[in-house]
Amino acid sequence: MAHVDFPPCRLVSWPEIDRWSDLIAEKVRSASWNPQVIVGLTRGGWVPSRMLADRLGTKHLAALRAQHWGVTATPSGSAELTEELATRLDQKRVLVVDDITDTGQSLQLAVRHVADRGALEVRSATYLHISHSTYMPTYFAEEVARDAWRWFVFPWNYWEDLRTLAGKVRASDGMPAKEVQRELKARCLLDVPLSHVERALAPL
């Protein structure tokens, strides 16, 4: 389902991100748990980790580089951590954050890595959790049924996704932007303004 050229997409808005951040922060707080360190998986978990650090008042924020999805809806083989954490996490309570658990592999690897760095307790959080994921985060804002799978176009990936998908639906270089816009909607359920399609099609 994630291997299709024209994934059904869902645009995610900033108000949703705010709401999901509030929801997760509330779940963490009501578990009477507060992380001393937040580790955000890059790139998808970078913004979410910052949002949660702000809400939970966590000053120590670290990034862990994970790679699984090459470009939009295209897995790059199996998940891997491509850079290790520079810091030790001895005796720390650590929250590992990503935007979504889809296969669950990246988060699982990250949690294991953080434990190997000496953490006392590791919990994890994602905004969205797809029910087919082999790994369930400790906290998530919304569960997505596996047959409701979508490629979620997060605000921090908007232009990258649009460039990739516009490039795929464009049958030829001369295809007018208006037609590309129509194809994006028909094939990918992606309803975006014409000016955005034009921008996405322009060379970088």
Omega of the bond leading into 182 within 30 degrees of 0 (cis): no
Closest CB to ligand ADE among 4 and 31?
A: 4
Q: Taking the complex as a whole, how short is the minimal distance between the CB of residue 161 and ligand ADE, in angstroms? A: 8
The amino acid present at 112, given as its one-letter code, is: R
Who contacts 203 (Cβ-Cβ below 8 Å, separation ≥6)? none
Residues 61 and 53: beta-carbon distance below 8 Å: yes
Of the candidate residues 25, 137, 152, 190, the single one contacting ligand ADE (CB under 6 A): 152
Q: How far is the CA of 172 from the CAs of 52, 166, 175, 195, 201, in angstroms?
A: 43, 11, 5, 19, 12
Closest CB to ligand ADE among 175 and 189?
A: 189
Mark 72-101 with x for binding to ligand ADE (rule: CB under 6 A) and - for no binding: ----------------------------x-
- Residue 140 within binding range of ligand ADE, rule CB under 6 A: no
Q: Taking the complex as a whole, how short is the minimal distance between the CB of residue 70 and ligand ADE, in angstroms? A: 11
Of the candidate residues 95, 151, 166, 190, the single one contacting ligand ADE (CB under 6 A): 151
Q: What are the contacts of 195-201 at 24+ separation with CB within 8 A? A: 196/162, 197/162, 197/166, 199/159, 200/159, 200/162, 200/163, 200/166, 201/163, 201/166, 201/167, 201/170, 201/177
Q: Taking the complex as a whole, how short is the minimal distance between the CB of residue 83 and ligand ADE, in angstroms? A: 19
Closest CB to ligand ADE among 97 and 100?
A: 100
Of the candidate residues 24, 38, 46, 102, the single one contacting ligand ADE (CB under 6 A): 102
- The residue number whose beta carbon is nearest to ligand ADE equals 102
Chain residues binding ligand ADE by CB under 6 A are 44, 69, 100, 102, 151-152
